[in-house]
Amino acid sequence: MALALQTFPTVEDAGAALKAAGTRYLGGGTLVVRAANEGDVSISGFIRSTEPALSIIRISGGEVRIGASVTMAAIARHPDLAPLAHAARAVGGPAIRNMATVGGNLFAPTPYGDFTVALLALDATVTTDYGELPIETFLAKRESNHAIVTAVGFTLPKEGGFRFLKQSRVKPKGVAVLSIATVLEQAQDGTVTSARIALGCMADRPIRARAAEKALIGRKLTADGIAPALAVAHDGTSPPTDPIASAWYRNEVLPVHLGRLLLA
Ligand SMILES: Cc1cc2nc3c(=O)[nH]c(=O)nc-3n(C[C@H](O)[C@H](O)[C@H](O)COP(=O)(O)OP(=O)(O)OC[C@H]3O[C@@H](n4cnc5c(N)ncnc54)[C@H](O)[C@@H]3O)c2cc1C
């Protein structure tokens, strides 16, 4: 069956066209075109928009806004987004990163979605053609989303405040066993004053490790200080068993990798 591709100069027009049954928004196409090629008959056509704002990275006064069509490669090479380069480079190999968009990554099912893990730790907002949502709210309801994501926004973390780790079995571009991102703030004496920890591959979508976050407050990033957080790291997780790793294995290695990231 032939698949139609319709391109619109504005998000508004693309959004109107997306109301037709069987249409899907096209980001970089690394997932959705593959799904169509592999026989997903629910897809009858693709819609995309070339509105310039979708492809722009804007940074002003520490506030970052990344258009939904911006690719992982563009993020990885942006000089002012150096703290996030590692997370953007965690997505596939160079060919995938040249296509894979921020917008598409928000919808990528586990074991994908590495950059979204970073965005969740950064407490990003997701803007659609209907308005702005906290990323957690967006992720919880992403299956029912029919809007076009236009941008993500977040505050640049303080220097050294953002950490990211992806564990995979095939280096350097394998799919994740798990990924972890943290945004921590510490007092002058090193005591943790605020913590956000996001996990990838520990559920069907990126989630926060809330119990571990809570257990870190008031502690220092030493082996003893982080021990209570590691003990509760898998509270609320429900990792999948897939060809990459079993659920049991993911739960076993989570505290090991979280510990390494916190002590790094
Ligand atoms: C070989 C290979 C390796 C990969 N490795 C990784 C990896 O290591 N880590 C990782 O995270 N991912 C990986 N991926 C998955 C994928 O490439 C990325 O998650 C990518 O960011 C998806 O973005 P995309 O623009 O290609 O999405 P698309 O395929 O274009 O779209 C994916 C879904 O999101 C929807 N969508 C896209 N953009 C928007 C928007 N702006 N508004 C509303 N809906 C939208 C589409 O309709 C579709 O349902 C890999 C894929 C392949 C094929």
CA-closest candidate to residue 70, choices 53, 92, 47, 45? 53
**Taking the domains of the chain in order of start, what are their residue ranges?**
4-49, 53-155, 162-263
Residues 53-155, CATH architecture:
2-Layer Sandwich (3.30)
The verdict on the CB of residue 15 being under 6 Å from ligand 1 is no
Are 225 and 190 in contact by the 8 Å Cβ rule? The answer is: no
Bridge partners of residue 24, in order along the sequence: 46
* Best probe residue, ligand 1, of 25, 56, 127, 149 (max atoms within 8 Å of C-beta): 25
| Percent of the chain residues past pLDDT 90, beyond the cut | 93
Question: 223 C-alpha to center of ligand 1: Å?
Answer: 37
Q: What is the mean pLDDT of residues 134-146?
A: 94
For 257, list phi and psi in degrees, rounded to 5.
-75, -35
pLDDT at 121 over 90: yes
Question: 108 C-alpha to center of ligand 1: Å?
Answer: 5
For 154-194, the pLDDT digits (tens) are 999 988 899 999 999 887 778 999 999 999 999 999 999 99
Q: Do domains 53-155 and 162-263 have the same CATH topology?
A: no
In the numeric block, the tokens 């090629």 are attached to 37
**147-151, 166-170, 257-261: which has the minimum mean pLDDT?**
166-170
* Terminal-residue alpha carbon distance, the chain: 52
For 33-50, the pLDDT digits (tens) are 999 999 999 999 999 999
Distance of alpha carbon 259 from alpha carbon 233, whole angstroms: 10
pLDDT at 1 over 70: no
Q: Which fold has domain 162-263?
A: Enolase-like; domain 1 (3.30.390)
pLDDT at 97 over 80: yes
| Count of alpha carbons within 13 angstroms of residue 124, beta-carbon side | 28
The verdict on the CB of residue 154 being under 6 Å from ligand 1 is no
Predicted pLDDT of residue 145 = 85
